[in-house]
Chains A and B, each alone.
Chain A
Amino acid sequence: MTALLDLSGVTKAYPGVVANDHVSLTIQPGEVHALLGENGAGKSTLVKMIYGLVKPDAGQMSLNGAGYAPADPRAARAAGIGMVFQHFSLFDALTVAENIALGMENAPPMRQLAAQIKAVSETYGLPLAPHRLVGDLSAGERQRVEIIRCLLQEPKLLIMDEPTSVLTPQEVDILFKTLRKLSAEGTAILYISHKLEEIRSLCDAATILRLGKVVGHCIPRDTSAADMAEMMVGSALKPPQKAAGPVGDVLLELRGLSLPPASAFGMPLRDISVSVRAGEVLGIGGVAGNGQDELLSALSGEAQVPAATVFLKGADVGRLGPNARRAAGLLTAPEERLGHAAAPDMSLTENAMLTGAARQGLERNGLLNWGAARSFANQIIADFDVRTPGPGNAARSLSGGNLQKFVIGREILQRPEVLVVNQPTWGVDASAAAAIRQALLDLAEHGAAVIVISQDLDELMEISDNFAALNEGRLSAVRPAAGLTVAEIGQMMGGAHGMEVAHV
């Protein structure tokens, strides 16, 4: 049998880094093939070459035995390769059918297309109404739009980049059923993830990349998650050490916090009440877009919240701006590192000044002390092992993981009494993620209250004392994290978001 896709010795170098070094990979028709690796291992570059976004420097690709060198994604699609990106490219203000038509070479008339969408979505158990506005859809439903857009082109190979990061456990189950059905019909799937249990349950074969090189192949069903992790990272990982410290007074309390959405497709916060005690780590889960960003900006002070809704150590801080809250001891770290937590083109010294001015004494009577800011930046770099030539470098020049360590370190070193972080380890490699989690746990151990908002349930289970989930801007009841089952968590996250009617 000829392989569907065969890569041999594919190499791609960027200035200063070899992203792919003689990578070989074979995918059979109908196979679900996992591509495993840490961030920066070269997974994205590899699939971008298959999808025609990047041209390899060396090596051969062949599709069904014939040479394959797509000039652009259009050529890749014509050859039967579809890709669902981790970040969706959809227009909020257009309907499902209009969005799908925009991505097609020769879109049929709208009515016919709507019928096709309906047919495909029913065949594969992905319910989707063609006339709904994308802005009103959940993340899981948006992903279905992207998948159906690919399926309408009847691909022979479907590439999926971290598809489950935006799904509830129940939605993941439904997605997997769809993928298995596709595979049974002969469509191969190249599945990118670093969630090992998912790969063990779904994939037939796996190729593991580390630092741009293939370091191993395995049959995921027959390999333990620990072994795969070791192949990915190159060494065994130390799980974070959690000390069950004594839990103290309530430091942060939200009383019936509601906030209208900031934009037409934003999520309102609805009547959120919760309290966090000294020494406690509260994990807040939920699918992206259910109010995480809004909750963070209500806590950071970027959004104006009504009086008597946010209390810090019993004092109402709801009307205070970001710097007044920092001075009072409430610190935050938003999800988006570049452009929100840090100014991309400014130096690390300037970014240290950005939030550190008040608590670190970097400012007196409005005059800035750049020498002190530089030593603060140096301290962050040293304490949090930020890999950079020095504090004069621009934030943009750091890798995602290093910048995240800088951003989290910047807040932790200011000795917060309450720290709120959103997606602290998103896009961060495993060892940096472990370091960040450990730092958060250490902070709690020293008597701070920590709120971790994350979409990574494993992470939340690992570090949280208590767990709650955001769904449609509402916060579920808080429950002790120990002993929660995946099904219970899924229910707290809102179940399958209208998937109960799925024909599967």
Chain B
Amino acid sequence: MALATPVLAVLATMVFGGLLFAVLGKDPLQSILTIFWQPLFGEFAFYYRPQLLVKGAPLVLIAMGLALGFRAGIWNIGAEGQYIIGAICGAAAALAFYPLEAWWIFPLMVICGGLGGFLWAMIPGLLKVKFGTNEILVSLMLVYVAEQLLSSMSLGLLKNPEGYGFPGSRNLQQYASAHNAEIIAGSGMHWGVLAALIAVIFAYVLLTRHRLGFAIRVTGEAPRAAKFGGVNPARLVLFCLGASGMLAGLAGMFEVAGPAGQITIDFNVGYGFTAIIVAFLGRLHPIGILLAGALMALTYIGGDIAQSQLGLPAAAIQVFQGMLLFFLLALDVLTNYRLRFGAAEVA
């Protein structure tokens, strides 16, 4: 059942998404085909296929970290903020040495990006451990702080001095030592994709074979039993938030150094939030997240194609993606509970 619901959710999304597109006056079958078929096997698939990796990598990287916490009942909703901070820190590390060319600049960016996301996630983590604040609220609100910081950076400290006054930093794609270039040209395979794969493998081993992964799973299932089994809840909160923050920060750093190229006001496109859908769609399981990330990337790219070819509004595509989470959660509820109409029995 746990494996069947994501598949059913995708099918239900196709049906109701088709209805939605029909109401908007588009051919439903063609719209669905455009979204799911064109990127993989369409005329321009050679262009879109690498894009799948580019879009999927940050989603998988972020979702993998989030899933660790979600498994333990620790809800980091602020990956978007950690992603932004990771990007800012990574870019700032590189720009601090511009135009110096050296082999260690890119590794330094990786460290700074991960560290930035980690520290940003430590804010809700420490507040929760010390004062019992709700990590959902704090991490979410820090997203908006991070967005303001992003604007400030693109207009101020990190602004390109040779940018003719336009907001935004220098383009890191034109800075060889800092450029997160494709490992194999034309494949879309950049260092972030590799990092996502490593994260998936690492998380898989952690969850199935390591004491810490076991602690995460027991805490999610039965917190008191976990404490009885010797899990320190505070340390686990810090680990889960720190790990997810670090991975989100890395995703931001790989994005700014590669596909995006520069820090701009609208640098973030919601990967941090979409990753929540990816994590649940993938059943919080490493392999599932890999597949869900690929599927989500498909709807992004397919959605873009549908926008340009069929003139579907961007909002309709977002609703379509939201439906996926909605149906998944609804089907989960229906697998565990049965709807009963009529008077409720009072126990």
Contact = CB atoms under 8 A, between A and B. Distances in A.
Interface of A: 53, 71-74, 300-302, 321-323, 326, 332, 334, 336, 338-346, 350, 353-355, 357-358, 363, 366-368, 370
Contacts of B227: 302, 322
Contact of B210 (A326, A336, A358, A366): A366
B123 interface: no
B104 interface: no
Given A302-B227, A350-B217, 11 more contacts: A322-B228, A323-B230, A326-B230, A339-B225, A340-B224, A343-B218, A346-B222, A354-B218, A355-B228, A363-B211, A367-B209
A300 B217 contact: no
Contact of A343 (B209, B210, B211, B225): B225
A344 B218 CA distance: 10
B101 interface: no
Contacts of A357: 211
Nearest to B210: A366
Given A367-B209, A368-B214, A53 B224 contact: no
Contacts of B222: 338-340, 342-346
B230 A322 contact: yes
Interface in B214-242: 214, 217-218, 221-222, 224-230, 232
B43 interface: no
28 contacts: A73-B346, A73-B347, A300-B228, A301-B230, A322-B227, A322-B229, A322-B230, A323-B230, A326-B230, A336-B224, A338-B222, A339-B222, A339-B224, A340-B222, A340-B225, A341-B228, A342-B222, A343-B218, A343-B226, A353-B214, A354-B218, A354-B228, A358-B230, A363-B211, A366-B210, A366-B211, A368-B209, A368-B214
B214 A345 contact: no
B347 A343 contact: no
Contact of A53 (B209, B218, B347): B347
Nearest to A345: B221
Contact of B346 (A74, A340, A363): A74
| List of 10 A-B pairs having minimum Cβ-Cβ separation, nearest first | A323-B230, A343-B222, A322-B230, A354-B229, A343-B225, A343-B221, A366-B211, A340-B224, A339-B222, A302-B227
B210 to A, nearest CB: 5
B145 interface: no
A355 B224 CA distance: 13
Contacts of A343: 218, 221-222, 225-226
A366 B345 CA distance: 49
A343 B228 CA distance: 10
A73 B209 CA distance: 49
Interface in B82-112: none
B229 A344 contact: no
A341 B224 CA distance: 8
B230 A321 contact: yes
Contacts of A368: 209-211, 214
B228 A344 contact: no
A344 B210 contact: no
B212 interface: yes
Nearest to A324: B230
A53 B346 CA distance: 8
A350 B347 CA distance: 34
Contacts of A323: 229-230
> Which among A326, A334, A368 has the greatest number of chain B C-beta atoms within 10 A?
A368
Contacts of B228: 300, 302, 322, 332, 334, 340-341, 354-355
A188 to B, nearest CB: 24
B225 A366 contact: no
B285 to A, nearest CB: 15
Contacts of B232: 321
Contacts of A74: 346
B214 to A, nearest CB: 6
A164 B218 CA distance: 35
Interface in B181-235: 209-212, 214, 217-218, 221-222, 224-230, 232
B214 A350 contact: yes
Contacts of B345: 71-72
A345 B308 CA distance: 48
> Which among B210, B218, B224, B230 has the greatest number of chain A C-beta atoms within 10 A?
B230
A8 B227 CA distance: 49
B210 A346 contact: no
Contacts of B214: 350, 353, 368
Contacts of A353: 214
B235 to A, nearest CB: 11
A403 to B, nearest CB: 12
Contacts of B225: 339-343, 354
> Which among B214, B218, B232 has the greatest number of chain A C-beta atoms within 10 A?
B214
A45 B262 CA distance: 68
> Which among B210, B214, B221, B222 has the greatest number of chain A C-beta atoms within 10 A?
B222
A358 to B, nearest CB: 8
B85 to A, nearest CB: 30
B211 A344 contact: no
A398 B221 CA distance: 17
Nearest to A340: B224
Contacts of B211: 357, 363, 366-368
Contacts of A367: 209-211
A354 B221 CA distance: 12
B16 to A, nearest CB: 32
A355 B222 CA distance: 14
Nearest to A327: B230
